[in-house]
Structure 1
Amino acid sequence: MKRNYNKPTQGGDVRPKKALGQHFLTDESIAARIADTLSSYKGLPVMEVGPGMGVLTKYLIASGHDVKVAEIDGESIDYLRYNYPELAGRILDADFLRLDLAAIYPDGQKFCVIGNYPYNISSQIFFHVLDYRDQVVCCSGMLQREVAERFAAAPGTKARGILSVLLQAWYDVEYLFTVDENVFNPPPKVKSGVIRMVRNGVTDLGCDERLFKSVVKTAFGQRRKTIRNSIRGMFPAGVPLPDDPLLSLRPEQLSVAQFIELTNLVGSSR
């Protein structure tokens, strides 16, 4: 259906929608800092997720990035089309989670992903990025601080979890800075964090990737238990568990390399 485009008034015509998890960033200096997380990748195209009223978009364009944006909010799309003529033909009226990014960037083209991500689907967004890890060289942006800290958590820290391991298997993840609640409309109830993920040199984990995911999820599913107790059910019945020091640790203590080693232990018993 064709939309009617009325002239939007600056800052007033796009209403933040709770159902879409929208909290519009109002601090220009923070938007500039987030855009700058891609300063080393100006030769690559950029996909921005959920641009809203373009507070981040304007700095990406000003920095010379080749930007496309994915947005599902009709009011935001109208606003962007009117205020950012540079985006003509580059606004995707689509759910990022349903986009075939390989079709948008064909022939294995490398690109970056950035956004002020909706809190309610941020984990799903990063899982979607992970599906295109051979093309997404860098992924950065802002999300709920607790989730951002989890993504970047090192072995031995309380925040470490399933996504920490699955993302860090393929990306170097860095927590960059914290953003207070009062720079959003409406203000969220929690602080936000900005992270950057840069593709590492791993092309093959050295284990069965599907089993790796299963081992990680099973181990963290009972994170208070030692590995020996949490993954016992992954070994065939009647087969004694190997006498390996890894099994005496808890999941948050293991590095990616140790989870790969653990996966191979499970795989060799089958």
Structure 2
Amino acid sequence: MSDFYHKARKRFGQNFLIDQGIIRRIARAVNPGASEQLVEIGPGKGAITELMIDGCPHLKVVELDRDLIPWLKVKFERYPDFEVISADALTVDFGALAGGKPLRIVGNLPYNISTPLIFHLLTFADQVRDMHFMLQKEVVLRLGAEPGTKAYGRLSVMVQYWCDVEYLFTVPPECFDPAPKVDSAIVRLVPRAPAVHAEDLALLQKLVTTAFSLRRKTLRNSLKQMLDADQLAQVEIDTSRRPETIGVWEFVALANQLKAMGVQG
């Protein structure tokens, strides 16, 4: 099986990790336990899988490329509890995979779907212990960005509402086959209870999306898409500020105020 050849497919956003040192660093960062519920998204040829499965022999993997699935099943056939789920991760009910235990998720996420996939996974945040992802470095920087920085935006707010974000390390292009044109990075996301609870999550998402649709304009300009003049006058935040200066919990407080005013999500 070691001579298996599979050409990476652009339509699946495949870039196979080939650097053994980086693979070991990822496995050490995850440090899976035997009784844990661990799911790997996009295992590819099983490079990371191979270093995690001894620690967690009932590992589950979600793979979209059907040509890789027979290879994975044969490669790990000596692990009877290993399971391959043939599916698009964007459609998977990760809550159903938890089995009543906190879910741990790891993956080299395809660049072309990384943002929508993260938003999908956040819907299961209350059932997840942690997530370790390989992403474009630019995306990882956006996840943990602070207000007032260029990288801060919708993704920063919604991820930080649910999770603590930890940048672990950078992965250069030459660690992959084929080599991407940008640096990648490993990030750890650890869900925890929000510091301020959003009473209407859909409204918070709508508010943040609307605000950053005109990120170079003032909040007043963007909120005109959601609020009439009377409602805008009642807003308790300084609407002359730009969205990129408004902190996560300020957005949550504003969303809660809008809900009290009768604004729909």
| TM-score, with structure 2 as normaliser | 0.90
SS in 1 for 2:234: coil
182-191 vs 71-80, greater mean Cα deviation: 71-80
Corresponding position: 1:45 with 2:66: no
Q: What is the CA distance between 1:241 and its match in structure 2?
A: 1.6
Unaligned 5+ segments in structure 1 are: 1-7
| Structure 2 segments unaligned to the other structure (5+ residues) | none
* Cα displacement (A) at 1:204: 7.0
Q: Deviation of residue 46 (structure 1)?
A: 0.7
Cα deviation, 1:48-68, whole Å, max 9, x if unaligned, reads: 001011111011113346411
Aligned match for 2:253, one of 248, 251, 261: 261
Partner SS for 1:259? helix
Q: Which of 68, 72, 77 does residue 76 from structure 1 map onto?
A: 68
Q: Residue 222 of structure 2 corresponds to which residue in structure 1? A: 230
Moved more, 71-80 or 154-163: 71-80
2:116 to 124, 128, 131: 124
The answer (yes or no) to whether the contact 1:13–1:75 under 8 Å persists in 2 is: no
SS at match of 1:234: coil
Report the more deviating stretch, 111-120 or 85-94: 85-94
2:91 maps to which of 78, 94, 98? 98
CA distance, structure 1, for counterparts of residue 97 and residue 199 of structure 2:
30
Deviation at 1:103, TM superposition (A): 2.4
In the alignment of these two chains, the number of paired residues is 261
Instruction: Indicate which of 137, 151, 155 corresponds to 1:163.
Output: 155
Paired amino acid for 2:192: N
Of 252-261 and 22-31, deviating more is 252-261
- Per-residue displacement from partner, 1:21-52 (whole Å, max 9, x unpaired)? 10001101111111222227664211000101
> Following TM superposition, by how much is the alpha carbon of 1:171 offset from its aligned partner in structure 2, in angstroms?
0.5
Going from structure 1 to structure 2, the CA distance change for 1:91 and 1:243 (only over 3 Å counts) comes to: closer
TM-score between the two structures when normalised by the length of structure 1 = 0.88
Check whether the contact 1:35–1:56 (CA below 8 A) recurs between aligned residues. Answer: yes
* Separation (CA, whole Å) in 2 of partners of 1:214 and 1:183: 38
Partner in structure 1 of residue 9 of structure 2: 17
Superposed, which structure 2 residues align to 1:186-225 within 5 Å?
186-202=178-194, 205-225=197-217
Find the aligned partners of 2:57 and 2:191 in 1 and give their Cα distance. Answer: 19
Alpha-carbon distance between aligned partners in 2 of 1:201 and 1:65, rounded to the nearest angstrom: 30
Answer whether contact 1:44 1:111 (CA < 8 A) is retained: yes
Separation (CA, whole Å) in 1 of partners of 2:33 and 2:191: 12
Q: Helix, strand or coil for the counterpart of 2:53?
A: helix
Q: CA deviation at 1:90?
A: 0.7
Distance 1:267 1:54 in 2: 47
In 2, the alpha carbon distance for the partners of 1:98 and 1:239 equals 37
For 2:160, the aligned partner's letter is: Q
Report percent identity of matched pairs: 38
